[in-house]
Structure 1
Amino acid sequence: MGTVAALRRYPVKSMLGEDLASVAVTRAGLSGDRTYAALDEAGAVGSAKHPRKWGRLLGCRSRWAGGAVEVELPDGEVHTVGDPDLDARLSKLLGRHVFLSASPPEHGTLERAVPDYEGGVPDALRATASVDGTGERITVGRAAPGTFFDYGRVHLVTTSTLAGLRSAHPAGDFDPRRFRPNLVVDTGAAPAFTEDTWQGRRLRAGEALFRVLVPTPRCVVPTLGHDELKADPGIMRAIAREHRIPVFDLGRLACLGVYLEVLEPGTVRLGDSFTLPDGP
C-alpha cells in the first residue's frame, strides 16, 4: 500500500514539534506526544485553533531532550519545561498569565475560531458561537477526556490527498506540516482521499497496528504560518470546496486525513511498510 514518509510528534500542544526517525507507539499514541499544554487561569487549554488568543504558540518549538521537554522560544532562547522562567516568558508572549502543565484540567475548555466558509464547524455549533474578548467568534468544547488531544490519539495524512489538492488548487501550499500529522504515508499513485475507504479498517505501520476511526475535520490552523511556512488563507477554502464529507452526526465537514486508535503498540520507523491487513 505504501511507506511511512514522515513521523512527527508535538510534545507541547499547538507548538511546533519534532521530526523522528523512529518512535514507540503506545496505546496512548506516539510516546511523548501532546504530553504538555499551556493553560490559563480560566481553565482554557492552549490551542492555535483560536489564533488571536493562542496563535503565538506556533512560534515556539517543543522537543524531547534527555528525558525532558525543551521549548525553543521565537527569539531562540531554550528553556526546559518546569523552569519558572519559561512560564513567565510564555505569559509575556501571550499577554496574560499562562503555565505549562502535564495534567489536563477536569473541566478544561478548547476554544475554536469560527471560519466563514461552509464546513469549518458543524452548523449546530456555528449557531451557538459567541464573540469573546479578542473580538473573535468562537465555539467552546473539550479535549478528549484525560488528554490534550482533540479526539484521536494518532493523526495520519497521505501524500495522494496532498497531491490531489495541489492539482485542484495550484496556488495553495499543501506542505504536510500545516496539518500537524503524526504519520505521513506515501501512497504512491493512489487517488486523492483514498483514506476515505479505510473507515473502520485496520492498518499496520511497522510493528504497530491501528484502526481508522474517523476523517479529521480541519480548523483554521493549516492556514496559519508554521515555522518558515507562510500564512495561506486559501488552503482551507480549497479543502472545503473539494472534500466536505459526513462526520458522525455533525454534518458535512471539511476534512483532510484520518484519526487512528492504537490496537497493538510497537515501533514505527521511517520507510516502514504501510499495509491494510484485511486486504484491499
Structure 2
Amino acid sequence: MDNKNQIVGKVKEIRRFPVKSILGELLQTVSIDKRGLVGDRLWAIKNMNGKFGSGKTTRRFQQMDGLFNYKARYEDTTPIITMPDGTDYRGDDNAVNEKLSERLGYQVTLAREESISHFDEGPISIITTSALRKVSQELGEAVDPRRFRANLLIDTDSTGCLEDHLVNQLILVGPSVILRVVAPLQRCIMVNNSQEELKQDTRLLRYLVNNHESTFGVWAKVESFGKINIDDKIILV
C-alpha cells in the first residue's frame, strides 16, 4: 500500500490495559506519548521470582492462569483492580497485593514498570475490521475483537488483512498522532482464552498458525504525540 494521503479508515475502538495480561478499559479518547497510550500496560502482576504475569512463560514472563478474571481501569493515574467477585481495590493500597496473592494462591505484588518495558513487542497494537471479517468468515462464526487485546480497532471498508500492508508505513491518526507500523503481531494461546461472556475457543490460534504464520494485527511505534479519539480518521502519510 503506497497511496500517500489515502484514508485507511477510522478509529472504531480504543482499549487500554492498565495492568499487563488482565482485562482493561474501553475509552472514547486517550493521550499518546512516546511509550504509547498513556498508562497502557504500565503495571503488571509480579511473582516472588521477579517474573510478570502473562499468558505464557518466557525469560521475563510467567504464565498465570485465570488472569482474564481480573479487570483494571484508571482513576486519574491510579489503577483500580476489579476482582472476580466485583470488588475494587486501589493500586496504591497494599490490600490489593494481599487479595491478588490470596486468589492466585501464591505471593504476588502489583508492580509499576521500571527500566524494562512490560510490552511483549511494541507500544501500540492495531487490528482492523476487515481482518476480523476475513477470520470470522473462514471460521464460520463472528470473532470478537476483544480476543486480540488491541489498543486500536480500525474500521475499514477494505478486504482481508489490511494492516499487513501498513508495515513500514506511517499513518496519521486524528490531527496530530503519527505512528510508524513496524511488524505483524505474533499471537499466543491468550487469543483462545475465555473472558467475560466469551467462551474458550481453541480454533482461533490453530487457524492463525495454519493460515497466517501465527500473526494477527500489527504493532506500531509513536513518531508524533497527541490525542486519539473515537471516529478519528486514519490517513496513510
TM-score, with length taken from structure 1: 0.78
Residues 188-225 of structure 1: CA deviation (Å, up to 9, x unaligned): 1x121122211111011112100010000100001001
Match of 1:248 in 2: none
* Runs (4+) off by over 3 Å: none
1:239 to 2:199 alignment: no
2:165 corresponds, among 158, 174, 197, to 197
After superposition, the CA RMSD in angstroms is 1.6
What is the Cα deviation at residue 53 of structure 1? 4.1
Match of 2:130 in 1: 160
Match of 2:94 in 1: 84
What is the Cα deviation at residue 15 of structure 1? 1.0
C-alpha distance in 1, partners of 2:45/2:22?
Answer: 10
Alignment of 1:177-256 (within 5 A): 177-188=146-157, 190-206=158-174, 207-244=176-213, 254-256=214-216
1:20 to 2:42 alignment: no
C-alpha distance in 2, partners of 1:185/1:49?
Answer: 27
Find the residue that maps to 2:66 and give its secondary structure: helix
1:60 corresponds, among 64, 70, 83, to 70
Residues 55-89 of structure 1: CA deviation (Å, up to 9, x unaligned): 32211110001331100000111000021211111
C-alpha distance in 1, partners of 2:56/2:216?
Answer: 16
Change (3 A) 1:213 1:88: same
Match of 2:144 in 1: 175
* Native 8 Å contact 1:15 1:59 kept in 2: yes
Residues 83-103 of structure 1: CA deviation (Å, up to 9, x unaligned): 121111111121110001113
Change (3 A) 1:93 1:53: farther
What is the Cα deviation at residue 43 of structure 1? 1.3
If each structure's strand is expressed as a fraction of its own residues, which one has the higher value? 2
**Residues matched between the structures, number:** 226
Question: Identical aligned pairs, as a percentage?
Answer: 32
TM-score, with length taken from structure 2: 0.91
1:42 to 2:11 alignment: no
C-alpha distance in 1, partners of 2:88/2:102?
Answer: 15
User: Unaligned regions of 5+ residues in structure 2, if any?
Assistant: 1-7
User: Unaligned regions of 5+ residues in structure 1, if any?
Assistant: 105-144, 245-253
C-alpha distance in 2, partners of 1:152/1:85?
Answer: 31
C-alpha distance in 1, partners of 2:38/2:19?
Answer: 13
Matching residue's letter, 1:197: H
